[in-house]
Structure 1
């Protein structure tokens, strides 16, 4: 069944408006205070040219491979492998961080602190792993209902909490200095990852050249309004307490509605996270197998979806033990996603014809380069991952070349007698 503009808009909104919104306002306020609103506004403005760039690529080159396909067309298979590695190896780091958001809401209801957060992560990852191992799937319709439920929750939260806003909560506006805005922007990239999904969906539209730009424009507007409304309401209502809140939406809803709303938001947060983690693990399991098929990863370890899924599971469990704060883990992940955006927009500059679309791609390219720099030292991981992909491709190519060249002494044979003439010289 082909996608309509309405369906495509819903899927695009769901791809971007994910688990980040349930905790992003608190994390951004924690590093920038009320000035985090400037970072929110900047990311929303950046979304327009970035989303439009991927929409233009999808309209001209409709292919399910998305960014990887465009990078391959523009720069060749090694650069495409770098994109694949950046996405694939970011998933094991991102799954614990995503589950930690839901864990904060569960701990807010049940108590238990870090132990409850860890237990929530293990439960979510265990359920999703089992679903993917046995071929069960959260249907696209269920994913859309979860996204609709989140959007409705956000609207109710804003409408009921906003009457309790206090302008005094805007001061001091930049308690951590103006550099905090850049730090907040680097964190907020997590909440805006997903625009690349637009290009992957392009072949499923009824009329890609016409419908993809329309759906993209509507999705950018919806996401921007919801994100900015939640961020502004959070700052105005919760004030300095926002930065320390593990469950900001629950806090806002408690202020606006009252009653047992924390349990409701915890259930929504867990279901939403299961849907998001399922989408990423399902995609990663197939991506790993595809990269192995194309020679970008070892077949022995990643050659089937189940092998790839098992690697992601154990890598996710291992990443929990890393001595990183949640913010650092997020920056490591967003650094990888930002590099994917850098390569994708660079490909657009080669593939799109001269005109507004290419100009928009140029603006997006400069902006994502800036975001990569703002990520700071964690961005080095993305460069290491990309270099690893290119290095592995080069090593594999040189190894294949050596195997292809026949050895003068094949295995199991004896050395030729130097006194024996070649057959063509025997009298």
Structure 2
């Protein structure tokens, strides 16, 4: 995978990169997504109040995942993200598989995310299916339009929206707490504790996103410093919001939670009555736009990097430089996403299918990245031990994906076929793991001019 810039001293362009707070806004936007609007109810149907354990375990699991990815990106920021690190660790063909899994998962995940937000908005304003479809379409188009004007403007928009979002969710929790009942936690595990594993495989949709930001690390003003700080801030914000919303949902809605399609809306309605509708609509729009915006930003840059490496059509490589708009890759993603959205609204697929396929792909990509971390990070360091534990957990979560495993398997088969076709000229020599361990922290990469 080709890097976006040379490793060396900073330059005047580095001052135009993303600072800590805008970087944190992108991180939070990638992780804190629309899944929290519906997945508390879906997980409760799967495991009852014990689904809280799945949320908590995944949050703890995110710590080594987030910091191992941050450490690898801090050492060598690259638009290829996980695919770039997989190439360094295992070679070109493996990196093609990782790249395809992430790039082509976006057409699954983005429409599902938009439909979730659209349904919430329709519920809030009293509209029907047409309102939900229209709202979902507007959110999708807004995310692609935001990325078309460039990452600088997109990051400003996202930071403002994330501040608004966290405030709205905190308000929902605070207003609902007086209605909480301890008996709503009984029985705690009506389907047994084994069901917590099934809930965790679905909930990974809410925790995917660390890999998306890797593709944007080269846009950070000071990745060596800000990646770690942004990671800590994001973990604190996401952990507080997820555990707060889910715990209060169980405590307030109790047996009604598995049967509701709009748990956060019901929390707001308990405290605000009719005033909850506009706030619910705003929260749904922001929660939906944030992750789509970040994932499209990361995937479009990955597509340009894959095209530069010869495993996607060459026109997609346009705009691969730092600060540029990867117009060709972005356009392909937009077409595929809108086709998938059309399939969803016409009934050819459903939301659970798209969430399951996207979650399985993101889980597989994360597992790839963690496996690369075992080879690339310094042996016996804290990050190295953490990534081993995280990789084992990730494989276990992947095995709970069931039928959804078909999506990453088919994409992997396509990537292998493409890798064989384009890899006959021989792979480039990869650095030995020992050399990779010695890669120092770098200054922001220099700009690349077409």
Q: TM-score range by the shorter chain?
A: 0.7 to 0.9
Cα deviation digits, residues 363-409 of structure 1 (max 9, x gap): 111111111111122123112211210111103445x79xxxxxxxx
Which deviates more from structure 2 when the two are superposed, residues 192-201 or residues 284-293? 284-293
Matching residue of 2:431: none
Matching residue of 1:327: 352
Secondary structure of the 2:36 match is: helix
Match for residue 343 of structure 1 among 368, 380, 393? 368
1:194 and 2:194 matched: no
Q: CA deviation at 1:4?
A: 4.6
Cα deviation digits, residues 290-315 of structure 1 (max 9, x gap): 43342223458998333453233324
Does the 8 A contact of 2:115 with 2:136 survive in 1? yes
Q: CA deviation at 1:347?
A: 0.6
Cα distance in structure 2, aligned partners of 1:125 and 1:7: 21
Match for residue 185 of structure 2 among 146, 151, 170? 170
Matching residue of 1:256: 271
Give the direction of change, closer, same or farther, for the CA distance of 1:138–1:184 in structure 2 (3 Å limit).
farther
- How many residues are paired up? 400
Does the 8 A contact of 2:125 with 2:278 survive in 1? no
1:360 and 2:386 matched: yes
1:395 and 2:410 matched: no
Q: CA deviation at 1:74?
A: 0.8
Specify the structure having the higher radius of gyration (Cα).
Answer: 1
Note the 1:1-16 alignment, pairs <5 A: 1-16=16-31
Give the direction of change, closer, same or farther, for the CA distance of 1:98–1:2 in structure 2 (3 Å limit).
same
Q: TM-score, normalised by structure 2?
A: 0.80
Structure 2 unmatched ranges of 5 or more: 1-15, 319-327, 427-450
Q: CA deviation at 1:180?
A: 2.1
Q: CA deviation at 1:232?
A: 0.1
Cα distance in structure 2, aligned partners of 1:258 and 1:110: 13
Q: CA deviation at 1:3?
A: 4.6
Cα distance in structure 2, aligned partners of 1:302 and 1:97: 27
Does the 8 A contact of 2:54 with 2:197 survive in 1? yes
Structure 1 unmatched ranges of 5 or more: 402-427
Cα distance in structure 2, aligned partners of 1:107 and 1:118: 9
Cα distance in structure 1, aligned partners of 2:21 and 2:198: 35
1:157 and 2:187 matched: no
Matching residue of 2:446: none
Cα distance in structure 2, aligned partners of 1:15 and 1:133: 18
Does the 8 A contact of 1:93 with 1:319 survive in 2? no
Matching residue of 1:382: 408
Match for residue 372 of structure 1 among 377, 389, 398? 398
Secondary structure of the 1:328 match is: helix
Cα distance in structure 2, aligned partners of 1:186 and 1:167: 27
Cα deviation digits, residues 233-274 of structure 1 (max 9, x gap): 010001121122222111101112333212221133124423
Q: CA deviation at 1:153?
A: 0.9
Cα distance in structure 1, aligned partners of 2:215 and 2:297: 15
